[in-house]
Amino acid sequence: MSSQSIQLVRAIADIAIALEFTDENLINPDVAIEMQESISGTLQSLDEVNRKEIADIFESISTHYNGEIEKYVRSLPINYGIKSGD
């Protein structure tokens, strides 16, 4: 994993956290869902090797967060459809 890849995935995680946890009075829920779906579609369009690397990075960086946010970041690979939920 390159440090650039880790930084990019961390930025995606931070955006996802903001979209998921910011009060709906500040971010329109429909817009938040559309953005999450857009991120998901973009990540799903990557080849299998890159999807696996990104999924692994999400799981690795999740430890930088606490509690509910850590669990949420750890779940992003499955939520974004780049890792199966087996």
Whether the predicted pLDDT of 1 surpasses 80: no
pLDDT computed for residue 70 by the predictor: 97
- Is residue 85 one of the residues assigned to a domain? no
Nearest-angstrom CA–CA distance, 69 and 52: 21
For 32, 67, 79, the CA distances from 51, given in Å and listed in that order, are 22, 25, 13
Hey, what are 63's tokens? 């430890």
The pLDDT of residue 2 is 86
**Separation between Cα atoms, residue 11 and residue 64, nearest integer Å:** 13
Instruction: Supply the pTM of this predicted model.
Output: 0.90
First to last CA, the chain: 23
What is the number of domains present in the chain?
Answer: 1
In this structure, is residue 64 part of a structural domain? Answer: yes
Averaged pLDDT of the chain: 95
Domain that holds residue 48: 3-79
